[in-house]
Copies of this chain bind each other. A is one copy, B any other.
Amino acid sequence: MPYELYYWDGLQGRGEFVRLALEYAGAEYVDVARTEPGMKTMLKTLGSKTERYPPFAPPFLKDGDLIIPHVANILFYLGPKLGLAPADESLRAIANGLQLTITDMVAEVHDTHHPIATGLYYEDQKTEAKARAGDFISNRMPKFLAYFESVLTRNGGKHIIGGGLGYVDLSLFQLYEGLRYAFPRATRHFAKDYEALSALHGSVKRRKPIADYLKSERRLPFNESGIFRHYAELDQEP
């Protein structure tokens, strides 16, 4: 039975971190909300009164009857099944820690355009977004990326943990790609500032399953409904 991924249609968003793992591993999956009547099915699950453990929000994964919510949780679950997690259990806990640091950074990226309220339009919190994005570019982004660069480097540079490319590496690819889309000016020295991350990003991009996926219709383009949004006024020199 194929995995069922549930995430909003029309944007990469947080669902993309799961998609990349499924695509890289060549796993059979259905991107439910992009089928008919998938959106309805997803909303029904979210609002279910009978499901014992309904998810709070997308993305969530269905594997048979089991519903697993939260990106890091989904990847922790899928990792060993897809051959994208370390064999050693202690290392899996560390991989999960790295993934949760990515989760934190992604939440901060989201808040660069929505610092006041998720339910309001960007246009209604633009001034505050400028302040938050400025702090993100000057302080938070370098702090997070220097950390990932450093862990990646001390593990040889080819993958951040374990003996081969894993789900954390695929998420780092997406993070790097997303930041470059959202902040082309702020990220223009990335190749020099984060050599190992840049090399990892290139290496993931060239791998056949990922290269094929990126060319396919299954990969939506970045846009201003997702996490990584390009608003020129939020971008600035690094």
A residues at B contact (CB < 8 Å):
49, 52-57, 60, 66-70, 72-73, 76-77, 90, 93-94, 96-98, 100-101, 104, 107, 111, 115-120, 125, 128, 131-132, 135, 139-140, 144, 147, 150-151, 154-155, 161
Chain B residue at smallest Cβ distance from A68: B93
Q: Which residues of B contact A111 (CB under 8 A)?
A: 111, 115
A96 touches B76 (CB 8 A): yes
A94 touches B155 (CB 8 A): no
Copies in the complex: 2
B132 touches A115 (CB 8 A): yes
Contact of A147 among B56, B128, B154 (CB under 8 A): B56
Q: Which residues of B contact A70 (CB under 8 A)?
A: 96-97, 100-101
B96 touches A116 (CB 8 A): no
Q: Contacts A54-B151, A100-B72 given: A93-B66 contact, CB under 8 Å?
A: yes
A73 touches B53 (CB 8 A): no
Chain B residue at smallest Cβ distance from A67: B94
Q: Which residues of B contact A67 (CB under 8 A)?
A: 94
Contact of A53 among B66, B125, B161 (CB under 8 A): B161
Chain B residue at smallest Cβ distance from A136: B117
Chain B residue at smallest Cβ distance from A147: B56
Chain B residue at smallest Cβ distance from A102: B56
The minimal Cβ–Cβ distance linking A122 to chain B, given in whole angstroms, is 14
5 further A-B pairs in the complex, CB-CB below 8 A; given A69-B101, A73-B93, A120-B135: A53-B98, A72-B100, A73-B97, A115-B132, A117-B135
